[in-house]
Structure 1
Amino acid sequence: MTSRLSVSADRPEAAAAHAGSVLLRPWRETDIPFLQRLRNDVPLQAQLLARARGSDEAAVRRWLQARAEGERSLFLVIADPDAGEPLGYLQIVDIDPEDRRGELGICLAPAAQGRGLGRAAVRAALAAARSDRGLRKVSLRVRADNLRAIRCYDATGFARCGLLREHVCIEGSWRDVVLMEAFLEPAGAPCGS
């Protein structure tokens, strides 16, 4: 298996690649019911600093189309490498081609968590962000009490770079948010054209 992930806007089938114990691939129409369940899972979305909003199939399809199109985002389904069944998704959004940065988000179904699948997917996504999109830095936001996710990000090269105290109200409580970043090439490299 390889951690290389090729992402091509004109050949989306080329975007599928094995990454350790997961397959990263473009979304399929058959993924919509699974992704709808993830988007409507209130506790899971709360862990992700999001709020479940009761998405129907049409709303999920619009969300997927918006995330999968254009140069400002990269959206991939995290799937079982043998069966191809979805386990979650990963996205890099707000890609800025001039500053060569983007923001990572990952969502794994509860049954897929704790098995190293997130680490494998993040590593492959960071490699694709650098090689295919030319990014030099990826950042993320994570709830300060989401220790499993923070361990994953620490293990994949992210470093803490800030803390937003009492930043979001989730489940009736103010929650701190940790800011993390990963440099995909040496920090301090010259910038400009």
Structure 2
Amino acid sequence: MLEGQTIELRAWRDEDVPTLVALRNDLELQNLLMAQARPNSVEKVRRWLIDKSGSEDVLFFIIGARDGGHCLGYLQLYNQRPFHGTAELGICLAPDAQGRGAGREALILVEDYARRIFSIRKIVLHVLADNPATGFYRRVGYREVGCLQAHARIDGAYRDVLIMERLLLP
């Protein structure tokens, strides 16, 4: 477990499942994440958690509040390429947890951990160009390195996707 001032990054627990089911069934949130939204049962979310947390090339964490540990969302570093020292970022915060510093703190914790323990030197992410989170990513040190035009199909329309990266310096 990684502990920050207000959050912790930890393994998932049974009591996290209802929050994660709600997040995985939030159509607007799933569209922002470029996920193909479909109904997610408790069993399906539980299988997803088992698969993610058991995968060799994924670091998967629940973002939990330090005061009580309730689930605020999740974070994953996937497609790790140890030879190159790269990984891709995925982060999802519940709408009521956004804008309160949890995302920033989670990134600080996971970036330090990934650099020290897994020798990750660069994190890449893909985000819808019109997603308000692009401003957050820029503020925390990610820079735009490309744009995939008309790349993601959301509600029947094709939207641009930004490629952003952050070099993790020692």
Give 1:167 deviation, angstroms: 0.7
Q: What is the CA–CA distance in structure 1 between the aligned matches of 2:155 and 2:99, rounded to whole Å?
A: 23
Give 1:70 deviation, angstroms: 3.5
Q: 2:4 aligns with which of 16, 19, 22?
A: 19
Q: What is the CA–CA distance in structure 2 between the aligned matches of 1:45 and 1:150, rounded to whole Å?
A: 16
Letter in 2 for 1:20: Q
Which structure has more relative contact order (CA 8 Å, sep 6+)? It is 2
Count of equivalent residues: 170
Aligned twin of 1:39: 24
Deviation per residue, 1:103-158 (Å, 9 max, x gap): 000000011111121111111111111112111111000011112x1122112221
Retained in 2: the 8 A contact 1:42–1:51?
no
Pick the structure with more strand per residue: 2
Instruction: Give the match's secondary structure for 1:132.
Output: helix
RMSD: 1.3
Aligned twin of 1:95: 80
* 1:14-93 equivalences in 2 (<5 Å): 16-93=1-78
Q: What is the CA–CA distance in structure 2 between the aligned matches of 1:69 and 1:85, rounded to whole Å?
A: 22
Aligned twin of 1:3: none
Give 1:69 deviation, angstroms: 1.6
Aligned twin of 2:150: 166
Deviation per residue, 1:62-119 (Å, 9 max, x gap): 1111111243000101111111000100001111112111100000001111112111
Q: 1:111 aligns with which of 96, 99, 114?
A: 96
Instruction: Give the match's secondary structure for 2:118.
Output: coil
Instruction: Give the match's secondary structure for 2:67.
Output: coil
Using structure 1 for the length normalisation, give the TM-score.
Answer: 0.83
**Structure 1 runs of 4+ with >4 Å offset:** none
Q: What is the CA–CA distance in structure 2 between the aligned matches of 1:56 and 1:174, rounded to whole Å?
A: 28
Deviation per residue, 1:24-49 (Å, 9 max, x gap): 11111221121111111100000111
Q: What is the CA–CA distance in structure 2 between the aligned matches of 1:154 and 1:124, rounded to whole Å?
A: 17
Letter in 2 for 1:178: L
Aligned twin of 2:128: 143
